[in-house]
Amino acid sequence: MPARTVTTWTLEMTTRPELAATLPEGVRIDLAENITPEFARYLYAVVGGPWTWTDRLAWSREQWLEDLGVPGTETWVAYADGAPAGYVQIQPTKDDQHPASVEIRYFGLVEEAIGRGIGRALLEHGIASAWSLGERHDDLSATSRVWVHTCDLDGPAALPNYEKRGFTLTDESVDEMDYPDEPLGAWRSSGGPA
């Protein structure tokens, strides 16, 4: 894969926001309890294919199991008219400065769901779930920070959507990274032939 210049932004919120998005008609958000690596990989591929998400496509099943098995990791799936429309994965993280953080690891919609009002509601649900994660998991402390990475390979609405929900920019980096010239698309990313 060729090297491309990629700008990555890190954003955070340190105060629990009041959020009020309502789900569009025919949409629900469910916690994917005991999510399998196969379903997690499918969500990653179908949502990320149009935006050059390739980092996890070569992961083994064991790598998926390890990531999904981090205590407190949750995957919330939006369904529109019965079909997956997007997802948000949250996972606790900690470092010396932030011992009770939750990362929004992945968030996005399938192409057909974009522009239907689902993204705002799903992101707000993910943020609320990140802030309340310690309430659902006895071994976790109360969340003191929610954070996320996004980059210029993601959809053009990603960064503004995070900022509108209350995230503030804390870091920006520009790096040369190996990515395809063009996104693979949902079909190829999810295992379909070229």
Where are the domains positioned within the chain? 3-189
Band of residue 56 on the pLDDT scale cut at 50, 70, 90: very high
Q: Which of 16, 19, 15 is nearest to 120 (CA)?
A: 19
Band of residue 191 on the pLDDT scale cut at 50, 70, 90: confident
Rounded to the nearest angstrom, the gap between the alpha carbon of residue 138 and the centroid of all alpha carbons in its chain is 23
Global model pTM greater than 0.85: yes
CB distance 92 to 101 below 8 Å? yes
Average pLDDT over residues 117-144: 94
Residue 101 has pLDDT above 90, yes or no: yes
- What superfamily in CATH does domain 3-189 come from? Gcn5-related N-acetyltransferase (GNAT) (3.40.630.30)
Separation CA 131–CA 136 (nearest Å): 10
pLDDT in tens, 133-158: 999 998 899 999 999 999 988 888 89
Residue 97 has pLDDT above 90, yes or no: no
Q: What is the DSSP letter of 70?
A: S
Burial 76-94 (b: 16+ CB within 10 A, else e): bbbbbeeebbbbbbbbbbe
Residue 167's pLDDT is 97
What share of the chain in percent tops pLDDT 70? 99
Residue 146's pLDDT is 97
Residue 19's pLDDT is 85
Residue 1 has pLDDT above 70, yes or no: no
pLDDT in tens, 66-81: 999 999 999 999 999 9
Band of residue 184 on the pLDDT scale cut at 50, 70, 90: confident
Residue 4 has pLDDT above 90, yes or no: no
